[in-house]
């Protein structure tokens, strides 16, 4: 189970330990060296308007984020890290998406020179967040120098659908769409049929697919299928093609 918790005095040591892992991994780009105690100097301190967050999976701390609040509903991802052995299943993407749902507003993310793989990750992750458009540019950062920067707006999302809402939804004289998140919605046909459909973007093209009919396909199962689609997209796999392959297994 994935959970995000704020960094406090009680768990600050956990954050700092993972931050050392982050600094060590990026030292090949930053050219940092550990000090006499074997520790790296941190670029971001959790002081002032910078908040720290821990990603927990089954009560195990596996990731960190440092978010700078630079204005009213304006945020910057200062640090972001997932332990390598936990990077499968698009957990980094899910971590970022949860942060943007927690703090809707204007966001910016920067990658230092040489971190092209990080830029690729952030482009995919932003696009997968409700097909959010973004601006990208080379920016002269006062601390890092020339960096790649993405800027976008994380819109406030509608509340998640509930089982009761799905069950009690009735047809009308026109088709009705009840939206969940990440492109998932329930299409209520005029005939009374209820279909789970998903809008997504792959290779720059917006597409849609029917996942199944309710109640044969439950709300939770539809969400699981939607997450699998986004996971495939993050891995540069055509989700529609992967779905056909799974059906033939």
Domain ranges of the chain: 2-154, 163-247
Over pLDDT 90: what percentage of the chain?
A: 70
Q: Dump pLDDT digits (tens) for 96-147.
A: 998 998 899 999 999 999 999 999 999 999 988 877 889 999 999 999 999 9
**CATH fold group of domain 2-154:** Aminopeptidase (3.40.630)
Q: Is it the case that residue 158 has pLDDT exceeding 70? A: no
Nearest CA to 79 out of 11, 28, 37, 20 is that of 20
Pick the CATH number of 163-247 from 3.40.630.10, 3.30.160.390, 3.40.1390.30, 1.10.3720.10: 3.30.160.390
Query: Do the domains 2-154 and 163-247 sit in the same CATH topology, yes or no?
Result: no
Q: What is the edge-to-edge ordering of all strands in the sheet holding 50-57?
A: 2-6, 50-57, 60-71, 74-82, 105-111, 145-154, 134-141
Work out the angle at residue 210's Cα, subtended by the Cα atoms of residues 207 and 214, and round it to the nearest 5 degrees. 150
């Amino acid at each position: 189970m994935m959970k995000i918790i704020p960094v406090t005095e009680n768990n600050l040591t956990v954050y700092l330990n993972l931050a050392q892992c982050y600094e060590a991994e990026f030292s090949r780009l930053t050219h940092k060296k550990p000090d006499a105690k074997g520790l790296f100097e941190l670029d971001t301190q959790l002081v002032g308007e910078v908040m720290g967050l821990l990603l927990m999976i089954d009560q195990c701390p596996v990731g960190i984020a440092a978010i700078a609040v630079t204005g009213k509903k304006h945020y910057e991802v200062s640090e972001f890290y997932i332990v390598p052995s936990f990077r499968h299943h698009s957990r980094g993407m899910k971590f970022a998406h949860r942060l943007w749902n927690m703090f809707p507003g204007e966001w910016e993310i920067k990658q230092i020179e040489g971190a092209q793989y990080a830029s690729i990750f952030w482009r995919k992750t932003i696009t997968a967040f409700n097909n959010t458009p973004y601006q990208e540019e080379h920016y002269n950062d006062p601390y890092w120098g020339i960096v790649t920067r993405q800027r976008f707006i994380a819109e406030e999302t509608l509340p998640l659908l509930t089982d009761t809402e799905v069950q009690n939804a009735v047809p009308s004289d026109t088709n009705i769409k009840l939206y969940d998140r990440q492109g998932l919605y329930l299409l209520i046909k005029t005939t009374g049929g209820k279909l789970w459909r998903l809008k997504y973007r792959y290779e720059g093209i917006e597409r849609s697919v029917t996942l199944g009919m309710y109640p044969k396909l439950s709300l939770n199962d539809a969400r699981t299928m939607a997450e699998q689609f986004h996971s495939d997209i993050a891995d540069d796999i055509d989700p529609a093609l992967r779905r056909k392959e799974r059906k033939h297994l």
